[in-house]
Structure 1
Amino acid sequence: MGALFFTYTTLSLRLHQRMLSNAFDLGIFEQVVKSYAEGHLPLSEIKGPDFPVMGDHFHPILASVAPFYRLWPSPMVLLVVQAALIAVSVLPLTLWARRALGSGAAGVIGVCYGLSWGIASAVGMDFHEVAFAVPLLAFSLTALGNDRLVAAACWALPLLLVKEDLGLTVAVIGVLIARRGARRLGIATAAIGVVGAALAMFVILPAFNPKGGYAYLHWLPGAGGGEGGEGGEGGLAELLFKGTIGLITPEAKVTTLLFVLAPTLFLALRSPLLWVVLPTLLWRFASGLWTHWGTSYHYSLVLMPIVFAAFVDALSRRQPSGKSLRRYLVGSVVVTTLFLPQFPLWQLVKPETWRTDPRVAVAHRLMDRVPDGATIQASNQLVPQLTDRTKASLYGWPDSRPHPEWIMVDTQVPLSRRWPLNPMEERISLDRALMQGYRTVAERDGFVLLTRSG
């Protein structure tokens, strides 16, 4: 656990130091935690001028990071907290494996889980609130697999405070508790999960959202509009047909499903604990947003403790012989090792990770010229470097605060990392700012710093 914490922390801090973290989402979450630390409900300047984030996603558990942020007001504290949360989740799974399968098997399973691709993807992609779900799921499913049903429910219920969709995950855990014999407890847990998710999505979030409603329903087929959404004119039967086919197409969804199960050599399919992945997989595969379908970003983080809990459960149920157990463990090691080079943890062995581009120092010298508390629009990778002391928003994002006091743009960002403006749009936008009264304070090594005249 300690070694993995050090690994996760090293990677995420190094990415931030190299200015490879992003406004979406490290910058947003720092603004959320900073709001809690200042004693008020969370606001995010990146989402919009004084945007109430409780109208975007329901994650009040982030308030627990506020005391740490008061001690260390930096986006790096969020990255360290995330590393700690994920590392702690190794403990219950490994201890369960040790009791059921022996110390050697426990060590192998703990390492394969800790280095699994879903965790690697999340650690290499900023901070996200679902990091809190990982230890809660690991402790809950370990308790469930060992018939400690009250503990399983107690560990699951705080998931309602992590993100609005996780209430459905709580509901599935409740169903499994009921199937294990604690019918009243299971039904109560499932009911609380469903009601909690419904309250978050259809009452709390719409109440805070300036535009009303739950902001992400448009991603679903038939909801109307949205990126990749389907219009609703073909009738219910056509909608259901398209929705069913859409759960397995395009092929990125099948690839993700295979990647989820491969580290356990598909043995996780033999455990009922695997049912807990269904809510997350269903909303991801039903979404019209392509980034939800694949293996990148943080979306598979919550699946990893579930799959490996199912792996331990299946192995303990089968009670394989020593030779058979070794085959499963060796197979898991091989799959994990084959996946590693494709995901961010592999960056730790690359020489370029440990080289600092001289432009980083130039950027910080220019950012130091922006006074504390100023409003500023900046390029994506610059925003998280500014959120701790300014009201920073994303340059070129349509919802950013108009007419900020400062603008800072990195004109040499590689095309693969450019967002939301392409080079031509960025140049046109900068020229327009100069015509609207901004003046150039500095222009060095591709960085342009503007401020309003007068």
Structure 2
Amino acid sequence: MTLPSPRADSRRRPAWSWGIGAAVAATVFYAILALGRWNAGDSADYDLGIFAQGADAWSRGHWPVSHIRGLSLLGDHFSPLLATWGVVWRIWPTPPALLVTQSVLLGAALGVIVGYARWRAGWRVALLIAAVGIFSRAVLTTAMFDVHEVAYAAVALAVLCIALLQHRFSLAVVASVWLVLTKEDLGLTVFAAGVAWWWMYRGEGWRRPLLLAGIGVAGVLVAMLVLGAFAPGSGTGYLAYFGIGTSNKLPVPEDHSLSPQRLLPVLMYVVLALVIGVRSKLTVLAIPTLVWRGVSSNIHYWALDFHYDVILWPIGLLAFVDVVTRAGRVAGGSEAEESVSRPSLRSWEKAAVGVAVLAGFALAVSEMADRSVAPASLFRTAPVVTDIRTLAADHLPKGARVATQADVGAYLVPSYDAYSLRTDQRPSVDYVMFTGKPKWLYQVPQCAKDKLVRDAAQVWRRGAVTLVKLPHRQRVTPTC
């Protein structure tokens, strides 16, 4: 029996402290950004309002239904792990609870990555990973654009990558099951983990890689069956972006051309892996996500402005750590001794890493500027948020059915039954609320707002917010 190296044990202690420190710092930073956007009135129905309604349903022991989305969320994405949000909602029934939970998940993922980097590659690499990781655009887009189920995937992917690198099969199985319960496409990533295990440990045979791949395949099949059961007749409408089935009715711009923008996620992965990390076998795990995003007709899947890159984030960072660790291993040192030294990189590799670091920070600064995030918003509430709450408290009965513009609904959950004021849904409601904020996602045309006001039984205005009481419960469509 081989006893643990005293030297390895001595490095695990600072690794834990580095990991915890990075997790706490990242959690606080992401929470400030998310709550700042909430207080500034920049949170949206899509997706905070949707997931808040889902969490409210889970908390009451019901299947997750969102009136904003217009369907059961188990017919939208296969994410049973989000039942844990129901537990959070029972404790703190407000959308900011989900923002804080997501911040904790993202912070935990970075803590795992930094702790491993400190243990395997030393403090210099850990410090680089902490700085690059916390300010990566891939994770900032998630932290600053409400909430998404992929925050759970970030933690599981970090654990799965480390399990692969450390030859820890049981841990890999746990992380794989976690992933297939997070979202339907992540079964493909788990299948890729089976391929990576075979590539890394070919001498062991096929049993373990086949088991991992089987978990991935089973996850996809179960997800498709559940999605079909909760969305009868169509299953997940997102397959329409790949030429399969019918549309999910989301007004997303599509492009079937061979646009070079399809390669943007690939470039993001190269930046996340600091160029040289692409040589790691962990890169196999990124391939399914890069492929399905690249071949889709949904232009949002190609863009770097949404949450999709957070799947690549832990893979790229740990792929870099893997390559650096191998470059820095002391000649004659063994894996059992866990002996590492300062990375021995060639000049061009150091230059490539430097360029990637600068590119990563530039992308992060651009994202924060685009989102106009002001951390000071954490300590003050914007007038538009106050106006939404005041109008609702003064004129809406508890549980009222309200059709809302995309920048309103999340602020009415859970006290009121919010619906989406969009042409593809036509909800049956008693009230309508919208704002005059310019350049908002899914903005209601001004002529449609004017028509709603003209036909209203009663109208209340406060600042940029308008609340309309309809003559009777009716289906509303924001058309002119």
Matches of residues 236-385 of structure 1 in structure 2 within 5 Å? Answer: 249-319=258-328, 320-321=343-344, 330-344=354-368, 347=372, 356-369=381-394, 370-385=396-411
Cα pair 2:33 2:374 within 8 Å, conserved: no
Change (3 A) 1:263 1:299: closer
Which residue of the other structure, out of 381, 385, 388, is the alignment partner of 2:414?
Answer: 388
Whether the 8 Å contact between 1:109 and 1:329 is mirrored in structure 2 is no
Q: Which secondary structure does the structure 1 equivalent of 2:461 belong to?
A: strand
Summarize the alignment of residues 187-202 of structure 1 with structure 2, pairs less than 5 Å apart.
187-201=210-224
Q: Secondary structure of the residue that 1:301 maps to in structure 2?
A: helix
Pair 323,196 (structure 1): closer, same or farther in 2 beyond 3 Å: closer
- 2:360 is aligned with what amino acid? T
Residue identity in the other structure for 2:269: V
Q: Deviations over 1:368-391 (max 9, x none)?
A: 132221111111111000121111
Deviation above 3 Å: which 4+ runs of structure 1?
221-230, 322-333, 345-357, 428-431
C-alpha distance in structure 1 between counterparts of 2:82 and 2:176, whole Å: 17
- Checking the alignment, whether the CA contact within 8 Å between 2:176 and 2:215 is kept in structure 1 is no
1:24 aligns with 2:49: no
Matched, 1:107 2:130: no
Cα displacement string for residues 321-352 of structure 1 (whole angstroms, at most 9, x for unaligned residues): 27868767655543332222111388556778
Q: Aligned ranges for residues 378-417 of structure 1 at < 5 Å?
A: 378-402=404-428, 404-410=429-435, 412-414=436-438, 416-417=439-440
Q: CA deviation at 1:302?
A: 0.9
2:388 and 2:411 in contact (8 A); partners too:
no
Query: Which stretch has the larger CA shift, 180-189 or 63-72?
Result: 180-189
- Flag the 1:290–1:14 CA change in 2: closer, same or farther, 3 A: same
Sort the Cα spacing of 1:430 and 1:419 in 2 relative to 1 into closer, same or farther, 3 A: farther
Alignment-derived partner of residue 448 in structure 2: 425
Please tell me the residue identity of whatever aligns with 1:444: R
| 1:88-142 C-alpha deviation (Å, 9 max, x unpaired) | 0112221221122211221221221121110011111010011100000001101
Distance in 1, matches of 2:373 and 2:46, equals 23
How far residue 221 of structure 1 moved from its aligned partner, in angstroms, is 3.9
The code of the aligned residue for 1:359 comes to: V
3-state SS in 1 of match to 2:466 = strand
Residue equivalent to 1:164: 184
Contact 1:123 1:344 in 2 (8 A): no
Change (3 A) 1:13 1:148: same
Structure 2 counterpart SS, 1:311: helix
CA contact (8 A) 2:34 2:144 kept: yes
Which has the larger displacement, 140-149 or 290-299? Answer: 140-149
Deviations 1:127-185 (A, max 9, x none): 00111000000011012112223312221221111011111111111121223335312
* 1:143 to 2:171 alignment: no
Q: Name whichever of 174-183 and 266-275 sits farther off.
A: 174-183
**Are the counterparts in 1 of residues 113 and 318 from structure 2 also a CA contact under 8 Å?**
yes
- Equivalent position to 1:97, from 102, 117, 121: 117
Matched residue, 2:11: none
Give, in angstroms, the shift of residue 43 of structure 1: 0.7
Aligned-residue offset at 1:366? 0.6
Aligned partners of 2:319, 2:466: CA distance in 1, in Å? 52
Identity of aligned residues (%): 28
RMSD: 2.5
Q: Displacement of 1:262 after TM fit?
A: 1.9
- In structure 2, relative to structure 1, the CA distance for the partners of 1:63 and 1:356 (3 Å cut) is closer
The equivalent residue for 1:445 is 463
Corresponding letter in the other structure for 1:306: I
- In 2 relative to 1, CA 352–26 (structure 1 residues): closer, same or farther, beyond 3 Å? closer
Question: In structure 2, what is the Cα distance between the partners aligned to 1:358 and 1:54?
Answer: 36
Matched, 1:62 2:85: no
**1:262 maps to amino acid:** V
Contact 1:223-1:229 within 8 A present in 2 as well: no
For structure 2, the 5+ residue unaligned runs are 1-22, 329-342, 473-480
Q: Counterpart of 2:451 in structure 1: which amino acid?
A: I
Asked whether the 8 Å contact 2:421–2:427 carries over to 1, the reply is no
1:233 aligns to what? none
* Deviation of the 1:407 alpha carbon: 1.2
Q: Distance in 2 between matches of 1:328 and 1:104?
A: 17
- What is the Cα deviation at residue 272 of structure 1? 1.1
Give me the whole-angstrom Cα distance separating, in 1, the residues matched to 2:133 and 2:184: 26
Change (3 A) 1:400 1:142: farther
In terms of mean alpha carbon deviation, does 52-61 or 141-150 score higher?
A: 141-150
Give 1:32-51 correspondences, 5 Å limit: 32-48=54-70, 51=71
Partner Cα separation in structure 1 for residue 382 and residue 413 of structure 2: 22
- Report the CA distance shift for 1:62/1:92 in structure 2 as closer, same or farther (over 3 A): same
Tell me how far 1:32 sits from its aligned partner.
0.8
Q: CA deviation at 1:447?
A: 2.0
Indicate conservation of the 8 Å contact 1:271/1:314, yes or no. Answer: yes
Q: Distance in 1 between matches of 2:51 and 2:426?
A: 16
Gaps of 5+ in 1: 231-241
- Deviation sequence 1:14-51 (CA, Å, 0-9, x none): 11111111111111101111101011111111122xx2
Tell me, in whole angstroms, the C-alpha distance in 2 between the residues paired with 1:428 and 1:41. Answer: 36
SS in 2 for 1:20: coil
